[in-house]
Structure 1
Amino acid sequence: MGLRINDTAPDFTADSTAGSLSFHDWIGDSYAIIFSHPRDFTPVCTTEFGAVAQLVPEFAKRKTKVLGVSVDSVADHEKWKRDIEAFSGAPADFPIIDDSSLTVAKAYDMLPADYYLPTEGRTPAHSATVRTVFIIGPDKKVRLTMTYPMSVGRNFAEILRALDAVQATDGVPFATPANWVPGQDVIVALSVPTDQATERYGQLDIKLPYLRFAKQPKA
């Protein structure tokens, strides 16, 4: 069975472009995002790594570390980084781990159901579903996952929005509605009676008995 929301993210130690990395220690008290790729020097993935390179300052504002996973060697990653930086115009200042053994891909259940991995001549198609995003909390629990096919580039604006929503709702009795962005109203949890919600959040916008909006509380 694959990883589920609130499962503990598997720990691992791996070589990376930033040296040896022990995942849980590396997270520390931050949030973390893993974004995985089936091979280096692939076109869609190059655009995605470029997008992440451009967004590193945004992730840093959110106290979130980003970790690239690709099923090639650190030596290949270092060469690929030059392409990523040339394409994106931004430094790829985040670790990319060597998962040529597929240890992380298997631990995180990212391989296709009927995968076959030849000892030689492996292509991106053999590890096609190593295209998953994991948002992981400081408690090392999986908060969100998204998996993409090889033909569909990830929308990192949505990943950033999802991270904002995960952080906004962490440990508090409200949720975010469809298409929510920071600053918009939030949905009060059904576990909070209306009088208590009004006292806590101010005037509510009650659309339905079970759908009550409130202004997003200030952090």
Structure 2
Amino acid sequence: MVNLGDVFPDFTAQSSKGEIKFHEWLGDSWGILFSHPADYTPVCTTELSRAAAMQKDFAKRGVKMIALSCDDVESHIGWIEDIKDYSKCEFEHPIIADPKRNLAVKLGMLDPDEKDAAGLPLTARCVFIIGPDKRLKLSILYPATTGRNFDEILRVVDALQLTATKKVATPVDWKQGEACMVLPSVKAEDEAKFFPKGVTYVEVKSGKKYMRTTPQPE
């Protein structure tokens, strides 16, 4: 298992684009590793098709994408042709082969309720977002039967990249360009230094001055 803030485990594995040495592949970029229960399955095909359609959105944020499925490379390469046909897009990111489930076990990806024809547990739908420092910034775990929302994953990337460098947090349902919350650790006398666009205090029944908003920092 990997906890938030941990250095994400390095590993070497075969993929649809050849051997992957994970930390070397990631370089100084942000990265998303998302796992899939199996090749040639309907929900997984819709997800990777959506990922293919959004490749440019992630790339312009400096984010590399890589998938993982508990099938071999040959299976991945054949499945990619279906994904390209279904999505009507090119498919640029690699799919890691994990037929022995070594990585699925190491990273806590297995879904005990969903099994393949041989009775082996399938991988759950994990999302790991890793920063340029190789540390885990976010993880989301979906069961095998529930497809992910890639618009939400993109929204989370925007929030993570913003809050990594600015003294703000993003409120519920925040989207790119919307107001942010000032961190409680920022003292009132430092507001002008950090937030030249100004700070608004939101009145609450308790009278406490902890609800502060500011336009999204540049």
Tell me if both proteins adopt one fold, taking TM over 0.5 as the criterion. yes
Report Cα offsets for 1:52-103 as digits up to 9, x if no partner. 0111111110111000100000100000001101111111110001111212
Larger mean Cα displacement after TM superposition, 55-64 or 208-217? 208-217
User: Per-residue deviation at 1:153?
Assistant: 1.2
Q: 1:191 to 1:212 in 2, by over 3 A?
A: same
Q: Which of 198, 201, 206 is the equivalent residue of 2:201?
A: 206
- For the residue of structure 2 that corresponds to 1:20, the secondary structure is strand
Whether 1:181 and 2:175 are equivalent positions in the alignment is yes
Distance 1:102 1:128, change over 3 A: closer
Displacement, 1:200? 2.1
Contact 2:104 2:123 in 1 (8 A): no
**1:88 counterpart letter in structure 2:** S
Task: Say what the alpha-carbon RMSD is for the aligned residues.
Answer: 1.8
Q: TM-score, normalised by structure 1?
A: 0.91
Partner of residue 144, structure 1: 138
Are 1:122 and 2:121 counterparts?
Answer: no
- Using the size of structure 2 for normalisation, the TM-score is 0.92
What CA distance in whole angstroms lies between the structure 1 residues aligned with 2:189 and 2:118? 61
Residues 71 and 97 in structure 2, CA contact (< 8 A), matched pair in contact too: yes
What is the distance in 1 between the residues matched to 2:138 and 2:195? 26
Question: Which SS does the other structure have where 1:162 is aligned?
Answer: helix
Aligned residues: 212
- The residue number in structure 1 matching 2:16 is 17
Q: 2:162 maps to what in 1?
A: 168
Which residues in structure 2 correspond to 1:75-86 (within 5 Å)?
75-86=74-85
**Which has the larger displacement, 80-89 or 163-172?**
163-172
The unaligned stretches of length 5 or more in structure 2 are: 204-208
Gaps of 5+ in 1: none
C-alpha deviation, 1:116, in angstroms: 9.8
Runs of 4+ in 1 over 2 A off after TM superposition: 114-118
Deviations 1:109-165 (A, max 9, x none): 1114x57989xx436x72152x10000001111101111122221100000000110
Deviation of 1:18 (Å) = 1.0
